[in-house]
Amino acid sequence: MNCRSEVLEVTVESRQVEESMLALLHTILLHRSTGKFHYKKEGTYSIGTVGTLDIDCDFIDFSFVRVSSEELDRVIRKAVSEFKDALSNSGSDGMGQISLEFYQKKKSRWPFSDECIPWEVWSIKVNVVNLANEQERQICREKVGEKLGEKVINVVEVINRHEYLPKMPTQSEVDNVFDTSLKDVQPYLYKITYQITDSLGTSVSTTMRRLIKDTLAL
């Protein structure tokens, strides 16, 4: 199986890291989740509905839609919080990457553990910059909102392509394809990982500051 890979990149100030990551991860998971499966008999099932919520960001001029499951939100927020803390501890300016990998399980014979086969990976590269004053922060607030809007459209376009998805499983195999641990939603099996890289190079920081100064000059 070929695993497809998508890369998104955002440049934000430190207080925008959490909201920008939540917006992108939740957007992807909204399109990679179903309602709970209710099996009547083997091979016959109905699928419950997926509730949604509109979320307004505090530090970015942006709103996004997420699955209304509070359980799923807690899991995503925990991973994003750990990523944000790791970025903060790496220095005031930094670079990092958070990845959302979807996979399915292939049962192995005892005593071997099940094999996890990835089929889609989203990598979000984050560049963190420092800004000098509140005027620059306000411009960054607007610019990051615009960029996030473009990324969300990007995500939707990619997901709407007719590409591989795991086939709908039988009742005995549902745990090989979906995370059934949540009571109100059923995302495809996934895991979130992150890594922190070296300090931010001057190119990204300079580009963001130039963008802000050009806006101030208008």
Q: What's the rounded Cα separation, in Å, for the pair 178 and 189?
A: 5
* pLDDT for position 211: 57
* Burial of 16 from C-beta contacts in 10 A (0-12 / 13-18 / 19+): buried
* pLDDT for position 210: 56
- Show the low-confidence residues of the chain (pLDDT under 50): 92, 199-205, 216-218
Q: What's the rounded Cα separation, in Å, for the pair 61 and 91?
A: 26
Contact 95, 125 (CB under 8 A): yes
> CATH number of the domain at 4-198, please?
3.30.900
**Considering only CA atoms, which of 86, 122, 93 is closest in space to residue 11?**
93
pTM of the model: 0.87
Alpha helices, DSSP H only, in the chain? 17-31, 70-89, 134-159, 202-217
